[in-house]
Structure 1
């Protein structure tokens, strides 16, 4: 599918724009699944001010989707009709501040934030090593792993609304629950401030190495996957329900339920987004049939079929 090219009009409306605009850009490189149709417009802002300027001058009727590393994202085969905002280099800065604090851009990889904290002797952020995404995603989903969650260490988060207004949220104002924040969906996070506690760098790095080893031995980390597919139901583990439903190794074309960890879906090379989503829906159907539990998707699925 090819969408009408909006980039010429956008450039005319926004003469001071510093970021990059691309029409009908491929989205497969943006997602760890390596699937998906084109983005009508792909915008890579230079920084937070550039993002604010863009949103202030963008037609409010045009849908906007923000993407970081794309580790928890499935873009459907019909692509995204509207604008995809990709937070890249201009949002990846990480800085250590006094009071055992770390400030990080929303496009910074979670693992890099964890390592920066560790090297500075700041404990409490090592769990970020187990989350294969960016700070923006961790804020949106209250990302957590290995005993820690974003809500445990966040001081405040900064963002930009759909109208381009810069906003700030305290930890309480984020409204964190399990794998969710209550911040309006149209807010694009730009930066976060975290606070840990004093720790020994060697001990913290050792803890991070243990997380790395645990992930490598239990999860298909070097495959085309989207991370955990389904949220854990209250008091249950999604992977156990999937396994009990006989779905370990289940395939649809080149899409497969991982045999190593069956809460992961894998693209073995040529699976379409429809193959992956269809497989996930079949898993949900079988789990409901065998256990009575309706699994909820943790992976964000967007775009046209």
Structure 2
């Protein structure tokens, strides 16, 4: 179907069941073009809210049986080939603001992690340099307690705001978030709209130098120029996922157009013609081989959404 901008739904299909909005509905939106893997099927409907009030009104007016899935910039995401039933929400510019007040950064949920790090540097605030090594948005970082280079979101988080499935706004303290390694205790159907992060006064030159170190390290050790989805599996307790994968003989392993990176074997790569099924099945093959060689059950860090091709839609599959 061709994407169509709407202020209110026409008669027919899922759009007819959705509330009128000030933002934009797009029917049959091809999600492959906004994910880093560049694979996957369409969203039944994509919704880009005009602002936080528009988002809350949409959630409050959407029937409970309609699946709602939120995505960021698609950096740590695998959309299955059968597409995503229901509504996929993607936050835009209205949610990407960054404002510095004293030692605090008031940040929108759609703000890029690298932009947050840069804003902190420009304000002479240290402690957030690690964010320049995380390719995603604040919302995704909150959802998985993202971290890199020795720090995590929980180390700098003061509070967060989220909208629940009924459209109610919640203000959450860092303690209420229940952040542990690559985990957040907040219900999965809540959408993060912003947060307050804390920095520490530091020398701007030193902050810039640390950010340069992180960028260089990332480019030297990760396949950043490839179509990838970031780190595939979370590190098990007391071990590193890439070492277990390497010992299982998976470096360079192929399945269709998908490959385990030769450069960093905790990354999967779309070599050019991979399907989402190629990538997911390759990941499952890696998990099986690691389990057989080390007894360790790797946990997916990449978020997988939607239906496999030729699978009947079911809200429970999203």
TM superposition score category, shorter chain reference: over 0.9
Match of 1:45? 49
| d(CA) in 2 for partners of 1:287, 1:141 | 23
Question: In the TM superposition, what are the counterparts of 1:22-61 in structure 2 within 5 Å?
Answer: 22-61=26-65
Residue 68 of structure 1 contacts residue 88 of structure 1 at CA under 8 Å; is this kept in 2?
Answer: no
The yes-or-no answer on 1:294 pairing with 2:302 is no
- Aligned residue among 193, 196, 201 for 1:193: 196
> Structure 1 residue runs of 4+, over 4 Å off?
none
Contact 2:105 2:197 in 1 (8 A): yes
Partner of 1:78: 82
Is 1:5–1:24's contact at 8 Å kept on the other side of the alignment? Answer: no
Q: Distance in 2 between matches of 1:224 and 1:49?
A: 35
Task: Give the drift of 1:202.
Answer: 1.0
Shift of 1:197: 0.8
Q: Distance in 2 between matches of 1:84 and 1:97?
A: 33
Mapped contact 1:7–1:22 kept (Cα < 8 A) = no
- Normalising by the residue count of structure 2, what TM-score does the alignment of the two structures yield? 0.92
Q: CA deviation at 1:9?
A: 4.1
Per the alignment, residue 151 of structure 2 pairs with: 148
1:167-188 Cα distance to aligned partner (Å, 9 max, x none): 1110000001000110011110
**1:52 offset after TM fit, Å?**
0.4
1:263 aligns with 2:266: yes
Match of 1:183 among 182, 186, 189: 186
Matched residue, 1:164: 167
Shift of 1:30: 2.2
Q: Normalization by structure 1: what TM-score?
A: 0.96
In the TM superposition, what is the alpha-carbon distance from 1:254 to its structure 2 partner? 1.1
- Cα deviation for residue 277 of structure 1 reads 0.1
- Indicate conservation of the 8 Å contact 2:17/2:62, yes or no: no
In 2: Cα distance, 1:83 partner to 1:20 partner: 12
Q: Is the partner of 1:156 in helix, strand or coil?
A: strand
Conserved 8 A contact 2:100-2:123: yes
How far off its partner does 1:5 sit? 3.7
Gaps of 5+ in 2: 3-11, 309-318
Q: Distance in 2 between matches of 1:219 and 1:38?
A: 29
| 1:95 aligned partner | 99
